[in-house]
């Protein structure tokens, strides 16, 4: 029961971080914030799938793939920002 609560809290915090970055994207128009917002959506999706499937030991590979996509989006956003400036 505690795992489901914590995964829900992590999902909510990831969604809030995504909304935070979307707000800055609307203010500045910088693609960097879009990449970070999408990354937090992917990471939040990872936490939500963990809660729905009740996976305590993370034996499912596709959960790692969703998390990997989130981290790759962060790396792409940083590289994109550095190449444009």
Tell me how far apart the alpha carbons of residues 77 and 56 are, in angstroms, rounded to a whole number.
31
pTM metric for this prediction:
0.87
Count Cβ atoms below 10 Å from residue 60 Cβ, excluding itself: 13
Q: Where are the domains of the chain?
A: 2-84
Tell me how far apart the alpha carbons of residues 45 and 53 are, in angstroms, rounded to a whole number.
12
At 63, the pLDDT band (50, 70, 90 cuts) reads: confident
Does pLDDT of 58 surpass 70? no
* Least confident span in 25-34, 35-44, 55-64: 55-64
In Å, what is the CA distance from 38 to each residue of 14, 19, 28, 56, 59? 10, 10, 17, 25, 25
């Amino acid at each position: 029961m505690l795992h489901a609560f914590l995964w829900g809290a992590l999902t909510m915090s990831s969604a809030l971080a995504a909304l935070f970055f979307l707000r800055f994207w609307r203010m500045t128009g910088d693609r960097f914030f879009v990449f970070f917002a999408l990354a937090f959506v992917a990471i939040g999706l990872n936490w939500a799938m963990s809660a729905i499937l009740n996976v305590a030991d993370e034996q499912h590979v596709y959960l790692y793939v969703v998390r990997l996509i989130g981290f790759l989006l962060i790396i792409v956003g940083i590289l994109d920002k550095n190449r444009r400036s």
